Amino acid sequence: MNLPPLIARHRDSLAAWTMVAPALLVTLVFALYPVLDSFWLSLHHIFVGIPSLGRSFIGLENYLNLLRDPVAHQAVFVTLAFVVLSTMLELACGLVIALVIHERFRGRGLVRAAILIPWAIPTVVASQLWRYIFNDQYGVANLLLFGDRVAAYIPWLAYPSIAFGIIVLADVWKTSCFAALLILAGLQVISDDLYDAAKMDGAGLWQRFWHITLPLLKPALLLALLFRTMDAFRVFDLVFVMTQGGPGDATQVLQFYGYQTLFTEGRLGYGSAISVAVFLMILGLSLIYLRAIGSSLLERRRT
């Protein structure tokens, strides 16, 4: 039975909403509600350890205090530095790994499975692994560099710049393979005919990469950048296990500062404001990336 176009369209729309309704309900309950509740808590002055003070509404005062907080400023700087360094290195390493495992060679399937091992390891376990590697008493790094000369051992995590670099190194080691997986998916949809035509025109390996591979990989690279930026902004486990934000404030990212404010100091309202600020920063960057991904996909279709 042929239905009028308008009725058929409404029926399809109703069927689509019916199928996505369970997922939307779960998202609203487990994702949107905590965000809204955190925002509501951030508008109050709450001390967990002193319940007699009650819950007084103070509006945006916590956010104004956050803008004036020098410790928060330092945490934002460390967070942004970590995000930029880790995501750029992960994209570069992920691109190299993806290009290697995209080639045909014996045992390629085994290699593809093996490179995902760091990503599959829980972050807490990976953090503990790297903390042991750079331990100043029995770490592998000191053993490889100085052997039995214990007096020459370096307390790696006691130096601010070195500790920050080790945090970045640990994150790059663990998550570059995830970026490689996303980039590999983009490589596999590039037609071999383009490379064959370029070879016939005399294009070399670098020219084929620069003029074919890299432009057509733009959506996949942006998608990997989106996921890795979101994860980098939310980094907590690495800092908590390896350095506790030290030495000083050298590795204190915004998420860890929010944790300390919430659970160590008991300032629930101010800690919620920090969490909401992190959420808004991630949301803003995500919207920018999604717009860029959409533009790159439209450009790819036109070409």
Residue that is written with structure tokens 């007699």 in the block: 52
Q: Report d(CA 105, CA 229) in Å as an integer.
A: 32
Q: Report d(CA 135, CA 120) in Å as an integer.
A: 24
Quick check: is 212 in a domain? yes
What pLDDT does 211 receive?
85
Residue 176: partners with Cβ closer than 8 Å, 6 or more residues away: 89, 90, 93, 94, 97, 118
Quick check: is 63 in a domain? no
Strands (E) across the chain are located at 44-45, 56-57
Report the 10 Å Cβ neighbour count for 40.
13
Based on the structure, what is the number of domains in the chain? 1
**Helix 160-187, helix 123-133: angle, nearest 10:** 130
Quick check: is 44 in a domain? no
Quick check: is 224 in a domain? yes
**Phi, psi angles (nearest 5°) of residue 46:** -130, 130
Q: What is the CATH number of the domain that holds 218?
A: 1.10.3720.10
Banded pLDDT at 125 (limits 50, 70, 90): very high
Residue 240 has pLDDT above 90, yes or no: yes
What pLDDT does 252 receive?
93
Banded pLDDT at 7 (limits 50, 70, 90): low
17: amino acid identity, one letter = W
Quick check: is 258 in a domain? yes
What pLDDT does 4 receive?
57
Q: Report d(CA 134, CA 65) in Å as an integer.
A: 37
What pLDDT does 6 receive?
56
Quick check: is 242 in a domain? yes
Beta-bridge partners for 44: 57
Quick check: is 184 in a domain? yes
Residue 117: partners with Cβ closer than 8 Å, 6 or more residues away: 177
Tokens of 301: 């279709």
Give per-residue pLDDT as tens, 145-162: 888 888 788 999 999 999
Q: Report d(CA 234, CA 223) in Å as an integer.
A: 17
For residue 87, the enclosing domain spans 77-120+160-302
Give per-residue pLDDT as tens, 184-226: 988 988 888 888 888 888 888 888 888 888 888 888 888 898 8
Residue that is written with structure tokens 């460390």 in the block: 78
CA angle 162, 274, 174 (to 5 degrees): 40
Average pLDDT over residues 121-133: 92
Contact at 8 Å (CB) between 144 and 153? no
What pLDDT does 202 receive?
82
Q: Report d(CA 218, CA 211) in Å as an integer.
A: 12
% of the chain beyond a pLDDT of 70: 93
Residue 49 has pLDDT above 80, yes or no: no
Beta-bridge partners for 45: 56
Quick check: is 174 in a domain? yes
